[in-house]
Amino acid sequence: MTTETTTPRNSRLENLRNLEPAGRLDVLAAAVGMSDEDRVTLTGADVLPMPLANGMIENVIGKFELPLAVASNFTINDKDYLIPMVVEEPSVVAAASYMAKIARGCGGFRTSADRPVMRAQIQVVGLADPSGARHRLLGAEAELREMCNARDEVLVSLGGGCIGIEVHVFETSAVGPMAVLHILVDVRDAMGANAVNSMAETIAPRVAEIAGGHTRLRILSNLADHRLARAHVTLTPEALTTKTMDGNDVIDGMIEAYALAQIDPYRAATHNKGVMNGVDPVVVATGNDWRAIEAGAHAWAARSGQYTSLTTWERGANGSLTGTIEMPMALGLVGGATKTHPAAQAALRVLGVSTAQELAQVTVAVGLAQNMAALRALATEGIQKGHMALHARNIAILAGATGAEVEAVAKAIATQGHVSVQAAKEVLAKL
Ligand code: MEV
């Protein structure tokens, strides 16, 4: 099942941030033609009934809530998207929406995605002739592929299924040589873990027989390097000009910041954390497996042997700045929490994607936008000013502010530059 393709959206929702949550939901509902049922679901009011929660994992004792927001202004391949994001960190959604607004003025994001191919590994140990085993396994590709596909006729009927194998040979210090057979499986709109794990377990005995060893692990790889999604954006200096800095200087600063992430793992880890600030909230909002996405992202970033940036930033011949991102994106529209969690289903309808590949492209575009926000802030005023201004609302609430006091206290402590609970309490007492 995929989500319905919906009428085109306009992702420019004026004044959204100045509304109360219920008012924002009204605006969003009108923009995407939301059903009454989805409206209720997205408010979070007992959206995950206890029997459902109890069926999802073990030893359930309750439910844990996080804010659900919508990022506006995104144009991706000339289509507007309103993007549901679940995240606890202030400034993430605001930054994504603001960068999307800048990008929109420059033509928006362009994206592409590979065919949704996942890998599973079957480890074969106890081999006398690992290279010979490799050749015998490669020779049996058609037979192994057919065995995999017989295991999942539904997937094959949808145009997916096993499309090939690879065999990798390793010499290990602990147990000697081993061969590892990979099956490459087009999993269509699924994340694909169950499909590929079942196939791997099905063919393992035959793999052992052909190789002449014993099989041990039979499990997917989260390094989904055949399932990459890409996005790029090109920004003019004018679009990046700030109150205090010329756009050309901003571009220089952003490229210098990127250059450090390219060569230094200490910086690359933080740079990529900023990318994942955009990616993970979409993954969570759509009920997908964020640990799988995180594992794939960082393994991909380290694929050359040196951990590096997931994005690139460079100046084009006409002086514009081009940012790119390419990373594994194993996301599904069917199965798991995507299917069972009512809010994930409603979030997918807000997003209006019709395939897992489209979801992957939107998600990496948000990751690129988030990285752009961080580099732009770091290259200009630093991140603390904007971050603390948004964080001030949290602090105001912690200090006991309610209703209209929250904004008033937040504004006062942000302006003073003392964003602390003590400062908020003092402002509140004066109010
Ligand atoms: C904070 O959550 C993310 C940043 O540290 C990312 C970065 O430094 O690029 C701002």
For 312-349, the pLDDT digits (tens) are 999 998 999 999 999 999 999 998 888 889 999 999 99
Q: Residue 326: name the closest of 193, 184, 226 by CA.
A: 226
pLDDT at 333: 96
Is the pLDDT score of 296 beyond 50?
yes
pLDDT at 2: 41
Q: What is the rounded distance in angstroms from the CA atom of residue 169 to the CA atom of residue 178?
A: 6
The sign of the torsion formed by the CA atoms of 197, 199, 205, 207 equals negative
All CATH 3.90.770.10 domain ranges of the chain, comma separated, are: 16-113+228-381
Cross-strand pairs, 321: 235, 315
**How remote is the CA of residue 232 from the centroid of ligand 1, in Å?**
20
pLDDT at 4: 47
Q: Could you confirm whether 385 is annotated as catalytic?
A: no
Atom of ligand 1 nearest to the CA of 375: 9
DSSP codes, 158-223? TT-EEEEEEEEEEEETTTEEEEEEEEEEE-TTB--HHHHHHHHHHHHHHHHHHHTSEEEEEEEES-
Atom of ligand 1 nearest to the CA of 277: 2
**Burial classification of residue 225, based on how many CB atoms lie within 10 Å of its CB (0-12 exposed, 13-18 middle, 19 or more buried):** middle
**How remote is the CA of residue 292 from the centroid of ligand 1, in Å?**
21
Pocket of ligand 1 (CB under 6 A): 89, 270-271, 273-274, 277, 374, 378, 383
For 119-144, the pLDDT digits (tens) are 999 999 999 999 999 999 999 999 99
Most informative mutation of 92, 98, 279, 383 for ligand 1 (most atoms within 8 A of CB):
383
Query: Distances from the Cα of 419 to the Cαs of 155, 401, 423, in angstroms?
Result: 54, 14, 7
Residue whose entry in the numeric block shows the structure tokens 């690129």: 368
- Does residue 357 contact residue 333 with C-beta atoms inside 8 Å? no
Q: Residue 3: name the closest of 81, 71, 69, 104 by CA.
A: 81
Most informative mutation of 260, 378, 384, 388 for ligand 1 (most atoms within 8 A of CB):
378
pLDDT at 327: 98
Q: Residue 3: name the closest of 34, 39, 42, 26 by CA.
A: 34
| Domain 117-221 coded CATH 3.30.70.420 | yes
Residue whose entry in the numeric block shows the structure tokens 């011949």: 317
Atom of ligand 1 nearest to the CA of 371: 9
pLDDT at 7: 65
Q: Residue 331: name the closest of 150, 174, 176, 187 by CA.
A: 187
Class (C level, CATH) for 16-113+228-381: alpha beta
Catalytic pick from 182, 298, 341, 387? 387
Q: Could you confirm whether 273 is annotated as catalytic?
A: yes
Is the pLDDT score of 385 beyond 90?
no
Structure tokens at 4: 């319905």
Catalytic pick from 186, 280, 289, 326? 289
Q: What is the rounded distance in angstroms from the CA atom of residue 187 to the CA atom of residue 117?
A: 6
Is the pLDDT score of 88 beyond 50?
yes
For 330-340, the pLDDT digits (tens) are 999 998 888 88
| Pair type for strands 311-315 and 176-186 | unpaired
pLDDT at 3: 46
Closest residue by Cα to atom 10, ligand 1, is: 374
In sequence order, what are the residues at sequence separation of 6 or more whose Cβ sits closer than 8 angstroms to the Cβ of residue 60?
50, 53, 54
Mean pLDDT of the chain: 95
Cross-strand pairs, 109: 76
Structure tokens at 409: 């206290």
DSSP assigned state of 85: E
Is the pLDDT score of 96 beyond 80?
yes
All CATH 3.30.70.420 domain ranges of the chain, comma separated, are: 117-221
Residue type for position 113: A
Interhelix angle for 265-285 vs 247-263, to 10°?
Answer: 100
What's the CA angle centered on 238, arms 236 and 243, to 5 degrees? 140
Cross-strand pairs, 118: 185
Catalytic pick from 26, 79, 89, 294? 89
pLDDT at 45: 82
Count CB atoms within 10 A of the CB of residue 143: 12
DSSP assigned state of 88: S
Q: Give the highest mean pLDDT range of 46-55, 220-229, 381-390.
A: 220-229
Closest residue by Cα to atom 7, ligand 1, is: 271
**How remote is the CA of residue 260 from the centroid of ligand 1, in Å?**
14
Structure tokens at 423: 């400062």
**How remote is the CA of residue 4 from the centroid of ligand 1, in Å?**
35
Q: What is the rounded distance in angstroms from the CA atom of residue 157 to the CA atom of residue 137?
A: 26
pLDDT at 6: 56
Counting residues of the chain whose pLDDT is more than 90, the rounded percentage is 87
- In this prediction the pTM is 0.93
Atom of ligand 1 nearest to the CA of 267: 8
